[in-house]
Amino acid sequence: MEESYTVKVVKDVESGKVLSQAWFNAAGQEHNTSGPAVVEYGPDGEPVRQCWMQNGQFHRDEADGPAIITRNPDDDTLLVKFLQNNRLHRIDGPAVVHKFETTGELISERFFRDGHLYRPWLRLQTP
């Protein structure tokens, strides 16, 4: 089944540069299964924020990468968040990673499973 999308493009009135693009499903929800559903661009034309969404919820399979990527060229930082079904979630590493983009030096990281903060160095208890 082929999906159809409505794409909204916002441009700067004076320069004509694209500021953002968003894909929507027939229900009017941000949605794109073949790439980010929302992309915001910086003054250099490069993406500063990319969001993968399905049916209005942040969602991307962990193996495909983070659901939200935010790049701040002013301080050279990169913030990535792994979400599934609108909840922070990652099995094979931290669900939130904040680092310097150029050097890769870690600023902070947080681990979540199914939206719940956990500490991987503590043994997980199963009910």
Encode pLDDT of 40-62 as tens digits: 999 999 999 999 999 999 999 99
Does a structural domain hold residue 123? no
Phi, psi of 89 (to 5 degrees): -165, 130
Q: Is the pLDDT of residue 126 over 80?
A: no
- What is the rounded CA–CA span in Å between residue 111 and residue 92? 10
Cβ neighbours around 2 below 10 Å, total:
3
- What is the rounded CA–CA span in Å between residue 53 and residue 71? 18
Q: What is the pTM of this model?
A: 0.90
Strand partners, 126: none
Does a structural domain hold residue 1? no
Residue 55's domain spans which residues?
6-117
Helix, strand or coil, per DSSP, at residue 107: strand
Give me the number of domains the chain comprises.
1
Does a structural domain hold residue 22? yes
What CATH number does residue 47 fall under?
2.20.110
Query: How big is the chain by its Cα radius of gyration, in Å?
Result: 17
